[in-house]
Amino acid sequence: MEQVKLNVIKGDITKQEVDAIVNAANNSLLGGGGVDGAIHRAGGPAILEECKQISANQGGCPTGEAVITTAGNLPAKYVIHTVGPVWHGGNQHEPELLANCYRNSLHLATEKQLKSIAFPNISTGVYGYPKYKAAEIAVGATKEFLQQHDTSLQSITFVCFDDENYELYSRILDE
């Protein structure tokens, strides 16, 4: 685990030059707003084409699971699409499902032998997950994955889009 660097930055995930950026997709994989809209806009139609094929083959993507596609015109090599839970108050398995997003994305990246990955703050936009709780799960699930698995990854970056998330992640990663 020592050699894997955990970073936090404030910025736009579509600009990250990493092996894979993670998308906070929805169950249909057919595109949405927020970070999903930004990724498809910046990456071009090749990403949506592959998402449509995956959707046709497996009927979308269940919450907590992840799939991988090309990154089209983005500087990243791949996009890992994972579906975060909608916040319903916390008693609908939201913590476990959100942790699964991070675990399954890290598994996919490891299977593909990737060295770097960048995550957005999954579920903290329109899906309404409280930011502090989501940040604790993101960091906790990532550290747990690294303790339990050998991975090709050398760098994991949490890309925060707003000041509040940036401050939360900075604080949690300092601890």
- Which residues belong to the active site? 36
- State in angstroms the smallest separation of the CB of 12 from ligand ADP: 4
> 3-state class of 150 per DSSP?
coil
Name which position in 19, 36, 65, 94 contacts ligand ADP (CB under 6 A).
36
Give the x-and-dash track for 114-133 against ligand ADP (CB under 6 A): ------xxxxxxxx------
Among 15, 12, 38, 16, CA closest to 25: 38
| DSSP, residue by residue, 46-92 | HHHHHHHHHHHHHSS--TT-EEEEE-TTSSSSEEEEEEPPPPSSS-S
For position 166 contacting ligand ADP by CB under 6 A, the verdict is no
Q: Which is nearer to ligand ADP, 11 or 45 (CB)?
A: 11
* Binders in 71-110 for ligand ADP, by CB under 6 A: 84
Dihedrals phi, psi of 20, to nearest 5 degrees: -140, 135
Do residues 98 and 85 touch, judged by C-beta distance below 8 A? Answer: yes
Residue type, 38: A
C-alpha distance from residue 171 to each of 48, 93, 136 (Å): 36, 25, 10
- Count of residues binding ligand ADP (CB under 6 A)? 21
- State in angstroms the smallest separation of the CB of 1 from ligand ADP: 26
For position 35 contacting ligand ADP by CB under 6 A, the verdict is yes
For position 63 contacting ligand ADP by CB under 6 A, the verdict is no
For position 12 contacting ligand ADP by CB under 6 A, the verdict is yes
Site residues for ligand ADP per CB under 6 A: 12-14, 24, 34-36, 38, 84, 120-127, 159, 161-162, 165
